[in-house]
Amino acid sequence: MIQTLFGSSDEKPEKEKRSFFDRMKQAVTRTRENLAERIDEVVSFHKEIDRDTLDDLEATLIAADLGTTTTREVLQKMREKVDRKQIGDVGELKRVLKDELLAILTTAAEKPVKSVDGEPEVILVVGVNGTGKTTTIGKLANHFRAQGKTVLLAAADTFRAAAIEQLEIWGSRTGTEVIKTKAGGDPSAVLFDALQAAKARKMDYVIVDTAGRLHNKANLMAELEKMYRTAQRIIPGAPHETLLVMDATTGQNGLQQARVFTEAAGVTGIVLTKLDGTAKGGVVVAISRELGLPVRFVGVGEKQGDLLPFNPNDFVESLFA
Amino acid sequence: MFENLSDKLQRAFKSLRGQGTLTEENMNEALREIRVALLEADVNFKVVKELIDHIREKASGQEVMTSLSPAEMVVKVVRDELVAILGTDTAKLKFASQPPTVVLMAGLQGSGKTTTSGKLAGWLKKGGHRPMLVSVDVYRPAAREQLKVVAKAISAHLYEGSNVEANTATVERLAKEARKEAINNGCDVLIVDTAGRLHIDEQLMEEMQSLKRLLNPQEILFVADAMTGQDAVNSAKEFHDKLSLTGVVLTKMDGDARGGAALSIRNVTGQPIKFIGIGEKYDALEPFHPDRIVSRILGMGDILSLIERAEEKLDKKKSEEFARKALSGDGFSLEDFRDQLRQVKKLGSLQSIVGMLPKIGPFAQMHQVSDKVDEKQITRVEAIINSMTSYEREHHEAINGSRRKRIARGSGTSVQEVNNLLRQYAQMRKMFKSMSKPSFAKRLAGMKLPNGM
């Protein structure tokens, strides 16, 4: 099931593909200073490739939060190609840069997803505070419901004030039941109850909301590990997907977040939220490059439908459109 | 927070060490390292450029003082420059001559406005004020419920309001009503929690402006996430242009983000960072100390914060009792030792404690060691002591072979580990005892202190 959801764009109908592309474009080009325009600016300004061209490109990539390491590596490859006369003019640089970024994102996206047989598919949603986990879950529930799937939500964020109420509102908006406990309860216990209920009722999906936690808090990460183990015990192979929700405004700390959350909860993919702002979310390129983690979805607004399956091709296209 | 940046700068300066003079060449290398470090710390690239230019100008223009090495000289210039950006003013709120003072909280989604509103109310209460909270976030599900829970937890006044609809008219009505309610209740400060919004959302930014006209707030605080990347300048600038911010609260500073956003935001708004959020508890709000953070950036450690934390968390009486016992003829027991372990654990992870120490001079090695120390080791030691009888804890010499075996089994460790602990304990006891003798003071005075920077 998940294969079709996260699968390659070839299988998608042409119409959906276009609307996805348009919306991505809309989301990313909303900013006046987006990466594509700035590259165009750079490209049209310098006809011949010189040191300044590469310096300007460097500034552009850094400004998009790709980080110094990724930027340096990407530009090094371009510099080599320029030296070997494989790139003749500045216009070509754009294409090469695009290909380079695409290669990084595509390799990560090819990572296989755990298969599910006959059991509810469990999606654990994790992340630091305030990235938009609960909102993303509401949108995910809407996404699956629209496909006619049955979904159960587990309110395992028992810590933050009114987190359970927030998820319940999303539950009623999307016609999805929420399994919960009282505030301050044991998150693993909620998870246990939710998975048991989902098994008994033969649900298609269980989406688990967890409390936001900073990845450097050992005890909170241990709690997450415990939840991961609890899920495994009840449904072998669960969680089938652990989504790390990351705010597009996040800087280089995103890399460390991805590392530590992967260690504790086996992150399988990223949801990049708040991409409707001016932030580019370029840190995901660094994450894909270093950890091979794919981006699964992007969040582009506060409404139910503002969650789009991620497609590396379209993502890079929209950056350059 | 800034450990990694410290690392890099430290490395950059190391390359300068041992060289007699500042040359264009060796300074360039240090500056390149500083540039990368600042970029990796998420300082905006334009701010970094400005900073590097200033430093280059100042460092090469100045004569190297004889009392400082070239490395120390660059440290000084960088330090001065960062302090100049962050400012030297610490947290202060402006209060209205005619109460209530209105504090408007603004920021992007998920930056921590609601939690910060609660913390700020708690902070004001401690300072003898009567704050009232109101949430005008009519958009996000359960946002107003969240503030209600927060207000209850810190027992602060809250204006709830009724007939809430998700539109600007309701937002304005709630704000007006809350202000009236604050006056009626004799509350001298009204904290207005607003919905998170994108700086490019024209409609919601207009709503913010109309709130400002309506309430005429003394403070408009921009709540920003310490993890923010390069985009920090865009959002901060836009919020500042539209609202004329009066200050910034930097949240999630208890994470390990390097927090370069602090430099970026300060640079584009010119407004002081008034507070930092350092945890999820409602008292985890601290005044911002630019000098401390600059010290931290430069690897000079954050000893002041460590001392503050220690004072807050440690049981002073117990520590004094321990010191008295340890230095006395009887020495401290394993029971006392366990108490001390538990106290140290309260301070946080070993790495976070060591992280606050400078990376130079006598502390440099501790940083290397702390990376290798297994945090679980402390838990294991505690488990071993837990498996002893109270008699054994007071009389360590009575722990013979069969007792050791039992203790190892009970704590899930090995006899070897029990032996290790007992040996170390015996050594520590001896060391402490010798410290009480006058000869120790003499020995200490004779010891040479390493030359730090």
Q: What is the pLDDT of residues B64-107, one digit of tens each?
A: 555 556 666 676 777 778 888 887 666 689 999 999 999 999 99
Q: What is the pLDDT of residue B428?
A: 80
Q: What is the pLDDT of residue B23?
A: 66
Q: Which fold has domain B305-445?
A: 434 Repressor (Amino-terminal Domain) (1.10.260)
How are beta strands A151-156 and B219-225 bridged, if at all? unpaired
Going edge to edge, which strands form the sheet with A121-126? A177-179, A151-156, A205-210, A121-126, A241-247, A269-273, A295-299, A307-309
Name chain A contacts of B260, Cβ cutoff 8 Å.
251
Q: Are B138 and B166 in contact (CB under 8 A)?
A: yes
Burial track B436-447 (b if 16+ CB lie within 10 A, e otherwise): eeeeeeeeeeee
Q: Are B121 and B191 in contact (CB under 8 A)?
A: yes
Name chain B contacts of A65, Cβ cutoff 8 Å.
42, 229-231
| A30 lies within 8 A of chain B by CB | yes
Name chain B contacts of A250, Cβ cutoff 8 Å.
227-229
Q: Where would I find the H helices in B167-315?
A: 168-184, 202-215, 232-243, 261-269, 290-297, 303-313
Contact A130 B112 (CB under 8 A): yes
Q: Are A250 and A197 in contact (CB under 8 A)?
A: no
Q: What is the pLDDT of residue B12?
A: 62
The pLDDT tens digits of the residues spanning B118-163 come to 999 999 999 999 999 999 999 999 999 999 999 999 999 999 998 8
Contact A250 B229 (CB under 8 A): yes
Per the prediction, chain B carries an average pLDDT of 81
Those residues with Cβ within 8 angstroms of residue B329's Cβ, 6 or more apart along the chain or in another chain: B433
Q: What is the pLDDT of residue A8?
A: 33
**Which residue in chain B is spatially nearest to A33 when comparing CA positions?**
B234
DSSP B19-68: -SS--HHHHHHHHHHHHHHHHHTT--HHHHHHHHHHHHHHHHHSPPPTTS
Contact A214 B254 (CB under 8 A): yes
The length of chain A in residues reads 321
* Residues in A 190-229 with any Cβ partner in B closer than 8 A: 214-218
**Domain residue spans in chain B?**
3-86, 101-299, 305-445
Contact B146 A160 (CB under 8 A): yes
What is the CATH number assigned to the segment(s) B3-86?
1.20.120.140
How remote is the C-alpha of B184 from its chain's centroid?
38
Closest CB to B45: pick one of A59, A163, A278.
Answer: A59
Asked if domains B3-86 and B101-299 share a fold, the reply is no
ipTM of the complex model: 0.84
Q: Is 3.40.50.300 the CATH classification of the domain at B101-299?
A: yes
Contact B42 A254 (CB under 8 A): no
**Which residue in chain B is spatially nearest to A32 when comparing CA positions?**
B200
List of chain A residues with pLDDT < 50: 1-17, 29-33
Sign of the CA dihedral with B30 first, then B33, B37, and B42 last:
positive
List of chain B residues with pLDDT < 50: 1-5, 299, 360-362, 445-453
Closest CB to A214: pick one of B45, B141, B252.
Answer: B252
